[in-house]
Chain A
């Protein structure tokens, strides 16, 4: 018998994971959030997401063709980037916004560096930063309330004041038109607070009432299910947690970064998240965990393989760093939300973190 067998080095077994398997599983894990988004805002969400994803895939294919490298869009990584980019845009955005963002994310965020595995920062977040810098009004104005009419989760204005509209119209505008984090940020702005009514005592009282409304149980429930204004993909904490659980269970993401990220945000906002006159309350960290892009960021962006540390210690540092920066931006920075810039900043720090945390080999003794 003539043997025709394969001779190759060990190991001869593989657990059969692959890059497409990983990427499409993340896409799958992001689907509940998309369903929630369609539920709250209608099919415009789906349309914008698909535009982002398809634009990313086309850009990647085109550049790979120009670079004369194999076209590998079937691996799902470009699709995922486009999807994540669209998730960072609100449902009222013009159709071309995710298209331009995705094209930029893939071209400048990824392919310029040599494609998959070589990008220094998360391409989707870079794309978002590009859009935010280029069309700030389109990105931050025009938020839509959910079909149920909720913008920041405060569904019962009576909770704040029986007659808010007449005594402080500016406060009324705020609680009816701004996203939760925008409300939280504005309440910290003393010039805004002082301009509400002529009486400083009333102003302080009103601000505290709004803050309590913002962190009330009914509001937190709205935040959890997603009945608030926000970006397409970040809206429902519940839907994102389903996806996150799937990825953790499938061993596709690792627990260290999300855990330390969220824990840092929780601790810091518990300590410093209140406003003048409000006491320390556990509902403040819950408010911060549930609002903005934190869940999307912590489980789906800060866990991106290529742009986060490889060492276990490094991942802990990365998570804490993201949490710290997010809270700093939210509480003292100029933007209401800081998730994407925090992750981008920590992405840039990643090579340094890795270099400083190379693990000690098993059995290595200190010299």
Chain B
């Protein structure tokens, strides 16, 4: 069978063997959680609790502050002890609510709606919004926004993203193996919400057991297909996955999947949607991979949102040697963080730990114009020229070579023989460009 894929991209060693076989382990509710108000794309949530308040697990503690925003919920029961700036998994410090446990893990009431599949789409959408779900693949776009496409853009296909093209990470893989039924139920709910007639689930060929299991479960579903994909990074990027699965091209310059009749959701998000619609369960936990060759026992955890990374590493038995780099997320697009004080957020798919040697930064050399970056760019841009124009403070030219189309997948930096930090230069350019636009107005 010919596997589907997209143009461009790279093929890094996937390093998934460290944690691929580790069954999801439910981590006990921690003694303290830090719940960030900004775990998603959009405006930060507004706290509705004050220091000293008692909260139950699943209780609303911050509400959505607009359409592109989500509410946050307590993930343990106890007392709100601080609302302050805390380390964020993207490496900065941001406002968060700290809850100290009362040790009881008392939940708000969780109901089971037996006929949840028959609920009207509007009710389903409301439950998704109330559960505080955002994209769990990493970017964290509020799910309810994606489930509300413009009326003039009918959706015919929902694609579940089970690609997990980032090396090292195995959280989506384990979820697909261990909760396959719930993933597919989630897909059906999403299809119903956006009234799409077709569903697909894209999985890369390095997860043959997940492909086989999904094919088995969906064998009787006429309108749901499993799409095995060639191993290629960044296949999990929305536009690339849509192209691989449907051959449709999402327009550039801010185009959304709805323009080509598609909605993409991560498999983890699908399970969260299922739990929200059926049980009204808010998003209080997620699957996260803790891995790296110096992690004593790499694992996949089901952890409460707000659990500190340091506790996850401890639960893996610690490290076998001194760490060189902590990466929140995957190694291609994740954030290097200064310590393990940051908590798990809704978009935290993994914590990858490098040793000193792996963390070694390569020295930058002059550009040879070898065009490897041009060859691998999945968006058909000219990364080295964008970077050169940013360096020369020539932003108009940088835009011409694709500055604003770049999604920072890092394929260019990955292959550059001169070790030029292309993504960093492009990111600098994006910031300078938006500043320049602001001052123009």
Bound form: Cα–Cα A315–B359 in Å: 36
Contact partners of A363 in chain B: CB under 8 A: 239, 249-252, 255, 379
B417 and A5: CB pair below 8 A?
no
Q: 5 A-B residue contacts at CB 8 Å?
A: A6-B361, A10-B335, A10-B408, A117-B368, A362-B7
A121 to chain B, nearest CB (A): 13
A246 to chain B, nearest CB (A): 17
Taking Cβ atoms with an 8 Å cutoff, the residues of A that contact B are 3-15, 17-19, 21-22, 75, 115-118, 254, 305-306, 308-312, 315, 358-365
B326 close to A (CB within 8 Å) = yes
Contact partners of A360 in chain B: CB under 8 A: 380
Interface residues of B in 360-382 (CB under 8 A from A): 360-362, 365-371, 374-375, 378-382
Bound form: Cα–Cα A12–B334 in Å: 8
Interface magnitude class on chain B: 35 or more
A12 and B331: CB pair below 8 A?
yes
B419 close to A (CB within 8 Å) = yes
Cross-chain pair count, CB within 8 angstroms = 155
A11 and B331: CB pair below 8 A?
yes
**Given contact pairs A13-B331, A15-B414, A361-B252, A5 touches B359 in the complex (Cβ within 8 A):** yes
**Given contact pairs A12-B331, A12-B332, A362 touches B380 in the complex (Cβ within 8 A):** yes
Quick one: CB contact mask for B313-337 with A, threshold 8 Å, 1 for yes? 0000000001111110001111111
Contact partners of B427 in chain A: CB under 8 A: 9
A19 and B368: CB pair below 8 A?
yes
Contact partners of A15 in chain B: CB under 8 A: 10, 12, 414-415
**Given contact pairs A12-B354, A361-B405, A22 touches B370 in the complex (Cβ within 8 A):** yes
Contact partners of B419 in chain A: CB under 8 A: 14, 18
A-B contacts besides A7-B91, A117-B418, 15 pairs, CB < 8 Å = A5-B339, A6-B324, A6-B361, A11-B332, A11-B413, A12-B359, A18-B365, A18-B419, A117-B368, A254-B375, A305-B368, A305-B369, A306-B369, A312-B375, A361-B381
A10 and B423: CB pair below 8 A?
yes
A312 and B374: CB pair below 8 A?
yes
B380 and A361: CB pair below 8 A?
yes
A359 partner, pick from B382, B408, B415, beta carbons under 8 A:
B382
Most buried by B among A15, A306, A358: A15
A81 to chain B, nearest CB (A): 13
**Given contact pairs A116-B368, A363-B255, A9 touches B423 in the complex (Cβ within 8 A):** yes
User: What 9 A-B pairs are tightest by C-beta distance, nearest first?
Assistant: A11-B410, A305-B370, A310-B371, A363-B252, A117-B366, A12-B331, A305-B368, A362-B379, A17-B417
**Given contact pairs A6-B336, A9-B427, A312-B375, A14 touches B369 in the complex (Cβ within 8 A):** no
Contact partners of B337 in chain A: CB under 8 A: 7
A357 to chain B, nearest CB (A): 10
